[in-house]
Chain A
Amino acid sequence: MPADAPLARLRRAALTVAAAACCVLGAAASAATAPADPALAPTVAVNPALEADTMELAHKLRCLVCQNQSIAESNAPLALDLRDQVREQLAAGKSKDEVVDYLVERYGDFVLYEPPFKAVTVLLWLGPAALLFGGAAWLAFRLRRRREEVAAEQHLSDADRARARALLDGAAGAEQPESPESRS
């Protein structure tokens, strides 16, 4: 049943993922409490959920001393310090926004890989949309002008038109193997 194959695969994937999620949670739980199985390696993170949150935020924060890396990727001492700060403050119950504010107060907007929306970044955030609408407007304008030009050319003789059509059809069919005569 070939039609079902993709779905079957996805279902399998779903099962894998579900199983995996159980494993992760299981591992986390056993690490958090006394490891029941001495052969099971303890996780580095004492609290995997906290660690995941920390790293998610860390990926959005720039390491100031590095060549364009986030504090999650970098192992520079400052990156480690800042990561610790993020972890500590999240653990203390601060929200992600509060942690971000804490760092911005000290290091400025430079630490944010996602620049805040404010007066000086308006062009940055709205630029792509503006370009898109500008492009679409230009396109619409060109297409309309083109149609007018074409309409103006309608005074061709019937014979001309027939010949043009033959040529154009030849060109339009260029994807198909064509006889050399169809092009000049």
Chain B
Amino acid sequence: MIPELGHFALILALVLSLVQAVVPLVGAQRNSMALMAVGRPAAQGQFFFIVFSYVCLTWAFIQSDFSVQLAASNSHSATPIMYKITGVWGNHEGSLLLWAMSLSLWTVAVTVFSRHLPDAFLARVLGVLGMVSAGFISFTLVTSNPFERLLPAVAEGRDLNPLLQDPGMIIHPPLLYMGYVGFSVAFAFAIAALMSGRLDAAWARWSRPWTTIAWVFLTAGIAVGSGWAYYELGWGGWWFWDPVENASFMPWLLGTALIHSLAVTEKRGAFRSWTVLLAIGAFSLSLLGTFLVRSGVITSVHAFATDPKRGLYILALLVIVIGASLLLYAMRASKLTGGGSFAFVSRETALLGNNVLLTVASASVLLGTLYPLFLDALNLGKISVGPPYFEAVFVPLMTPVVVLMMFGPFLRWKDDDLVAAVRKVAPAFVASVLIGFGSAWAVDHVTWRTVLGLTLAAWVVLASVQLLAGRFKERAGASVGARLRSITAAWWGMWLAHLGVGVFIIGVTMVGSLDQHLDVKMKEGQHAELAGYTFVFRGAVDADGPNYDAARGIIELRRGERLLDTLTPEKRVYRAQGMPMTEASLDIGVFRDVYVSLGEQLADGAWIVSLYYKPFISWIWLGCVLMGLGGVFAAADRRYRRLAAREAAAAGQRVAASA
């Protein structure tokens, strides 16, 4: 009964999404307040029914109702409750419902936080979001009904894929989806602005916080996914350039470009058609990612079980959503010239340059990801494009991005003097090159990649310090507190995020250059040495869990005589699927992780143990945290709230005047 209620609620949500898609748009066209006003309650009602539907599905999982096909294939009565709940999104149908739910959540957020927007504009935004929502809910209902019954019910479920039974599963998908789907708001704002022909600084200012928050979610989602892969896969890799990872990375790159482009459009009124195109592009790449994961056109470790019918449906959805928006763009973009003037040497140019580079990087990832498909479609053979290609292409493209990233903030808007600017940044740059070479030499790993990485990282850090010092000097004489207060949250956001890139580069470079690995056969009492650490094997014990059997190795991590940690890697076999899994054990430190995973037991009783030393690896995620934090600061800038309040007041006056 409850699954049927969930199904019914989803149908109601579809009806409301259609109402939301059509009525406000008609209202905006006819300038009818009554029709426009329908958008808000329709969006909120839709949210209610989707959440209700989602709860019903979760209920089936929690109750182990194996008469529901989805629960039978993705849950088990012995699965821990946490993974029963998260198992809902560990499959195609349930994750699609999560997609729809996060879209609905974003829409509701727009209805709540955008009271200051002009009615017609808000109506159009809601209409566009309603259309996307209708597309996805109907996709769920038509091709991927999560409430499908299995009659007769099976006695026991097949359990959630053991790889997914991990705390990472609890937060990674929701964060990632909030990010992916969050770009729909920037998209809807852009389309609404194109419809109304009002693409001005105000539009950019309205979109900015939404875009930034979506970007923060996406950054966090990708970072958590990468961290999860790092400890879960048992050998310490953290990025694989898998097509599905690329599918999340492409919108991230374009979203990063969009954030910067919006800044210019807001402040200087320039790049408007370009910004609109980026807003459409970022969301389009999110949709494309959805297509890639769910259609089966590419092979990936993350892909869901596929069905060509689903692929066709999403492709149709893609054609309608992206095709229509690009057509609208083609019709309206020619009107978007003008904006503030700026000279060749100016912050605008630096930002536009970075925009081009990020877009090229994103396009290159797309090219690499889809190239095998292109060749296959043209019957020119099958190839694989993997990490060696992406690394070869990506490093040269990202190097100028980092240089421009730290050069741009030293340039003035509008017009600057190149010589003066170069003079400003040169000392730090020269120092960075020296530090890069020096530290590569100090760690005895002078390769071009290490030198380049450390130079760039040093450049980011030094330039950040210089930037902050310069900002501080602006108000000479004022108290420290006053000086700090004079710096806006948006500026801190920029500063932190850029610094995060530097920290990230340090992590990537150090672990890429200096990590160490050793596989040993260990018997009780034996020890091994790696990177100055001693690993003492204290035997293996049984450590069965609720739905798996496991052996747990006890390994003391020592430095000299000092006991640092006791590591407990596990080798598990999940009973329902008979699938073996390694659970690595980590000693996490600021400057290095020590990572141990347990292999199989040999005939003579010894265990194969893999030992890894990963210097600075946590800096990769620390960098991501700083970037995300930067986004939070940027989005929280008082300016938006103050301007929103003023616009709301103005809107109130308009209403009062028209009444």
The judgment on whether A and B are partners is yes
CB of B301 within 8 A of CB of A110, answer no
CB of A177 within 8 A of CB of B488, answer yes
**Which single member of A42, A112, A153 contacts B341 (CB below 8 Å)?**
A153
**Which single member of B341, B368, B380, B490 contacts A150 (CB below 8 Å)?**
B341
State whether A42 and B521 are in contact (beta carbons under 8 Å apart), knowing that A132-B360, A176-B488, A180-B642 are contacts in the complex. Answer: yes
**Which single member of A11, A43, A109 contacts B382 (CB below 8 Å)?**
A109
24 residue pairs of the A-B complex, CB under 8 angstroms, read A13-B615, A16-B531, A17-B531, A19-B531, A24-B516, A43-B520, A44-B608, A59-B387, A62-B386, A70-B386, A109-B384, A110-B384, A114-B386, A115-B384, A120-B381, A123-B371, A128-B360, A135-B360, A138-B356, A146-B341, A171-B340, A172-B414, A176-B488, A177-B486
Question: For residues 379 through 434 of chain B, which have their beta carbon under 8 Å from a beta carbon of chain A?
Answer: 380-389, 392-393, 397, 412-414
**Which single member of A10, A68, A123 contacts B243 (CB below 8 Å)?**
A68
Indicate with 1 or 0, residue by residue over A142-184, a CB within 8 angstroms of chain B CB atoms.
Answer: 1100110110010000000000000010011011111010010
Q: Does A23 contact B (CB under 8 A)?
A: yes
* Docked complex Cα distance between A124 and B389 (Å): 9
- Told that A120-B383, A132-B397 touch, could you supply 6 new A-B pairs with CB distance under 8 A? A23-B529, A40-B527, A66-B301, A114-B386, A115-B384, A146-B341
CB of B356 within 8 A of CB of A136, answer yes
Indicate with 1 or 0, residue by residue over B247-275, a CB within 8 angstroms of chain A CB atoms.
Answer: 00000000000000000001110000000
Q: Please choose the segment from B167-175, B436-444, B625-633 that sits at the chain A interface, where 4 or more of its residues have CB less than 8 A away.
A: B436-444
CB distance from A79 to the nearest CB of B (A): 13
CB of A69 within 8 A of CB of B301, answer yes
Question: For residues 525 through 546 of chain B, which have their beta carbon under 8 Å from a beta carbon of chain A?
Answer: 525-532, 537
Binding site for A on B (CB under 8 A): 201, 233, 235, 237, 242-243, 266-268, 299-301, 303, 337-338, 340-344, 349, 352-353, 356-357, 359-360, 363-364, 367-368, 371, 375, 380-389, 392-393, 397, 412-414, 435, 438-439, 442-445, 486, 488, 490-491, 514, 516, 518-523, 525-532, 537, 591, 606, 608-609, 613, 615, 638-639, 642-643, 646
State whether A23 and B530 are in contact (beta carbons under 8 Å apart), knowing that A109-B381, A131-B364, A172-B414 are contacts in the complex. Answer: yes
Indicate with 1 or 0, residue by residue over A38-66, a CB within 8 angstroms of chain B CB atoms.
Answer: 01111111001001000000011010001
Q: Does A91 contact B (CB under 8 A)?
A: no
Residue of B nearest to A45 (CB): B519
Q: Does A82 contact B (CB under 8 A)?
A: no
CB of B267 within 8 A of CB of A172, answer yes
A-chain residues with CB within 8 Å of residue B299 when the two chains form the complex: 67-68
* Docked complex Cα distance between A131 and B366 (Å): 12
CB distance from B302 to the nearest CB of A (A): 8
State whether A139 and B519 are in contact (beta carbons under 8 Å apart), knowing that A60-B388, A114-B389 are contacts in the complex. Answer: no
Q: Does A7 contact B (CB under 8 A)?
A: yes
Query: Top 9 closest A-B pairs, CB basis?
Result: A113-B386, A114-B388, A20-B531, A128-B364, A150-B341, A44-B519, A135-B356, A41-B526, A41-B520
CB distance from A63 to the nearest CB of B (A): 10
CB distance from A174 to the nearest CB of B (A): 5
**Which single member of A27, A41, A142, A153 contacts B537 (CB below 8 Å)?**
A41
* Docked complex Cα distance between A59 and B349 (Å): 40
Binding site for B on A (CB under 8 A): 6-7, 9-11, 13-14, 16-20, 23-24, 26-27, 39-45, 48, 51, 59-60, 62, 66-70, 73, 108-115, 120-121, 123-124, 127-128, 131-132, 135-136, 138-139, 142-143, 146-147, 149-150, 153, 168, 171-172, 174-178, 180, 183
CB of B267 within 8 A of CB of A20, answer no
CB distance from A78 to the nearest CB of B (A): 15
CB of B442 within 8 A of CB of A11, answer yes
A-chain residues with CB within 8 Å of residue B237 when the two chains form the complex: 73
B-chain residues with CB within 8 Å of residue A127 when the two chains form the complex: 364, 367
CB of B514 within 8 A of CB of A17, answer yes
**Which single member of A110, A143, A176 contacts B349 (CB below 8 Å)?**
A143
CB of A143 within 8 A of CB of B384, answer no
CB of A180 within 8 A of CB of B646, answer yes
CB of B444 within 8 A of CB of A39, answer no
CB of A10 within 8 A of CB of B443, answer yes
Interface of chain B, main secondary structure: mixed
Interface of chain A, main secondary structure: helix
* Docked complex Cα distance between A45 and B449 (Å): 28
A-chain residues with CB within 8 Å of residue B386 when the two chains form the complex: 60, 62, 70, 113-114
* Docked complex Cα distance between A64 and B335 (Å): 52
CB of A40 within 8 A of CB of B526, answer yes
B-chain residues with CB within 8 Å of residue A66 when the two chains form the complex: 301
Residue of A nearest to B237 (CB): A73
B-chain residues with CB within 8 Å of residue A115 when the two chains form the complex: 371, 383-385, 389
* Docked complex Cα distance between A14 and B307 (Å): 53
B-chain residues with CB within 8 Å of residue A147 when the two chains form the complex: 341, 343-344
State whether A44 and B615 are in contact (beta carbons under 8 Å apart), knowing that A124-B367, A172-B267 are contacts in the complex. Answer: no
A-chain residues with CB within 8 Å of residue B300 when the two chains form the complex: 67-68
CB of B490 within 8 A of CB of A175, answer yes
* Docked complex Cα distance between A6 and B436 (Å): 12
CB distance from B474 to the nearest CB of A (A): 9
* Docked complex Cα distance between A147 and B340 (Å): 11
CB of A67 within 8 A of CB of B303, answer yes
CB of B364 within 8 A of CB of A175, answer no
Residue of A nearest to B341 (CB): A150
State whether A16 and B383 are in contact (beta carbons under 8 Å apart), knowing that A73-B233, A139-B353 are contacts in the complex. Answer: no
A-chain residues with CB within 8 Å of residue B488 when the two chains form the complex: 175-177
CB of A120 within 8 A of CB of B380, answer yes
B-chain residues with CB within 8 Å of residue A123 when the two chains form the complex: 367, 371
A-chain residues with CB within 8 Å of residue B364 when the two chains form the complex: 127-128, 131
CB distance from A166 to the nearest CB of B (A): 13
CB of B528 within 8 A of CB of A27, answer yes
CB of A40 within 8 A of CB of B444, answer no
CB distance from A142 to the nearest CB of B (A): 8
* Docked complex Cα distance between A62 and B386 (Å): 9
CB of A13 within 8 A of CB of B389, answer no
CB of B393 within 8 A of CB of A168, answer no
A-chain residues with CB within 8 Å of residue B233 when the two chains form the complex: 73
B-chain residues with CB within 8 Å of residue A73 when the two chains form the complex: 233, 235, 237
State whether A176 and B397 are in contact (beta carbons under 8 Å apart), knowing that A111-B384, A146-B341 are contacts in the complex. Answer: no
**Which single member of A20, A51, A110 contacts B516 (CB below 8 Å)?**
A20
A-chain residues with CB within 8 Å of residue B526 when the two chains form the complex: 39-41
CB of A108 within 8 A of CB of B382, answer yes
Residue of A nearest to B610 (CB): A44
CB of B385 within 8 A of CB of A124, answer yes
B-chain residues with CB within 8 Å of residue A135 when the two chains form the complex: 356-357, 359-360
CB of B384 within 8 A of CB of A17, answer no
* Docked complex Cα distance between A170 and B608 (Å): 67
Residue of A nearest to B536 (CB): A39
* Docked complex Cα distance between A66 and B613 (Å): 27
CB of A13 within 8 A of CB of B522, answer no
CB distance from A10 to the nearest CB of B (A): 4
A-chain residues with CB within 8 Å of residue B638 when the two chains form the complex: 177
A-chain residues with CB within 8 Å of residue B356 when the two chains form the complex: 135-136, 138-139
* Docked complex Cα distance between A180 and B609 (Å): 65
CB distance from B572 to the nearest CB of A (A): 15
